[in-house]
Amino acid sequence: MSNELEKQGLVVSNSPVTTLASYFDSRKKALAAVLPKHMTADRVCRIVLSAASRTPKLLECTPESVYLACHSAAQLGLEPGGPLGHAYLVPFFNNKNQKMECQYIPGYKGLIDLARRSGHISTIYAYSVHRDDKLEFELGLEPKLKHVPSLTIAPTRENMTHVYACAHLTDRGRQFVVMTTPEVESIRARSKARDSGPWMTDYLEMAKKTAVKRLVKMLPMSIELADAIAHEDKVEYGDLKDVTPQRERATITMDQLKPGEPEKPAEQPKEQAKEQKATTTKKKAAPPEEPGANDDLSDDLEA
C-alpha cells in the first residue's frame, strides 16, 4: 500500500510518512479485523496520512501509538481522524517514557453516534448559542428550552454565549443541559490538549461535545459510550502533556504549561518531615500512644 501511495504522490520515500504508511501496511489484517463494514484498512491509512499533513506533530509520534489510537477508535466503530468528526488524532508528549505519542479523542458526532446505540435514545443533538440569539430555558417540574438563532452574524468562538444538548428518549421522555461559555472554558482549561488539536481547530464542535458529554451521564449509556468517555477522561487528565507549538507557548504562563504538577515543597516542611522521621525511628520499640498516630505521621511524611 505504501508503494501505491508513493506513486500517487501522497508520501515520499524514506520519510516519516513512508515509515507510518509501512507500519500500517504491515498490520493491515489486524486492523481490518476490527473495522466496521463501511471502512477498510487502506481508507484508514489514507485518513491518517491526510491528518498528518494537517497536523505534522503526528509524524513525530511513534508509529505504534498512531496505529493503536486508530485501532482503539475503530473497535468502537469510530472513524479516526476522518471528515465525519467521529474521533480526532491528537499528539501528546508522554512524561513517563519521554516520547511523543498519539491518542484518539472522541468527537461530538462520535459521542452522539455511540449514545444512540444504547437503544433508549431516539434523538440527541447539540447547538451553540451566540450573541443576538434568543435563548430561553426553564427548569423544574416542567423543563422548557427555546432557542431562536440570529441570522445577522456568523457563529464563532468569540461570540458564543452558551451551548446546550438535548436528548429525546424512546419512552418519550426528554432531557437537556445548558452550559455557559465560562463553564465550557473551565473544562477546556483542565484538558491537556486545551491549546492544541480540536480545541483549537474545531472549538464549536468541542464545546457542543462538552454539553453532550455532560448530558449522556444522566442517560442510559451503551458500553461503547462508557468506554469512550472513560478513555477521553484518561487522555485529557492523565499523565500526558499537550504539544502546543513553541511559538504559541511564549504567550502561556508556566502554570498553564504544566497543569496539575505538584508544587515543590518548601524547605521548612522538608526539615519538619526529617525531624518527625528521626523521632519515629527512636520510638520504634514503643507502642503508639493512640490509634491512628502512625497514619497521621505517614501523611506528614508524604507531604
In sequence order, the 6+-apart residues with CB closer than 8 A to the CB of 270 are: none
User: In whole angstroms, what is the distance from residue 279 CA to residue 100 CA?
Assistant: 45
Report d(CA 202, CA 223) in Å as an integer: 26
Tell which of 106, 132, 158 closes a domain: 106
Residue 61's pLDDT is 92
pLDDT at 178: 97
Percent of the chain at pLDDT exceeding 70: 73
The confidence score (pLDDT) of residue 238 equals 64
- The model's pTM: 0.65
Q: Is residue 140 part of a domain?
A: yes
Tell me how far CA of residue 83 lies from CA of 197, 202, 210, in angstroms: 15, 12, 20
Q: Are 78 and 121 in a shared domain?
A: no
In a domain, 165, yes or no: yes
Same domain as 99, residue 60: yes
pLDDT category of residue 75 using cuts at 50, 70 and 90: confident
48 and 93 share one domain:
yes
Instruction: Check pLDDT > 90 for residue 150.
Output: yes
pLDDT over threshold 60, residue 84: yes
- The CA distance from 138 to 142, in Å, is 8
Residue 238 domain flag: no
**Residue 196 corresponds to which amino acid?**
S
Number of domains the chain contains: 3
Crossing angle for the helix pair 203-216 and 181-189, to the nearest 10 degrees = 90
Domain membership of residue 161 (yes or no) is yes
**% helix, strand, coil for the chain, step of 5:** 45, 20, 35
3-state class of 85 per DSSP? coil
**130 and 205 together in one domain:** yes
Owning domain of residue 285: 267-302
Q: Calculate the CA 49 to chain-centre distance.
A: 21
Structural domain ending residue among the three candidates 188, 221, 254: 221
Flag whether 226 is in a domain.
no
In tens, the pLDDT along 91-133 reads: 888 888 888 999 999 988 899 989 888 888 989 999 999 999 9
Query: Do 73 and 86 contact (CB within 8 A), yes or no?
Result: yes
Decide which of 106, 137, 172 is a domain's last residue: 106
Q: Which of 262, 291, 199 is nearest to 236 (CA)?
A: 199
Split at pLDDT 50, 70, 90, the class of 164 is very high
Is the domain of 121 the same as that of 177?
yes
Report whether pLDDT(79) > 50: yes
Q: Look-up: residue for cell 501509538?
A: 65
Lookup: cell for 8: 500517487
Q: What is the mean pLDDT of the chain?
A: 77
**Based on the domain organization, do 158 and 208 belong to the same domain?**
yes
pLDDT digits (tens, 9 = 90+) for 250-281: 322 323 333 334 434 444 444 444 445 554 44
| 49 and 127 both lie in a single domain | no
Residue 257 within a domain: no
Q: Are residues 202 and 134 in the same domain?
A: yes
Q: Which three cell numbers stand for residue 7?
A: 506513486
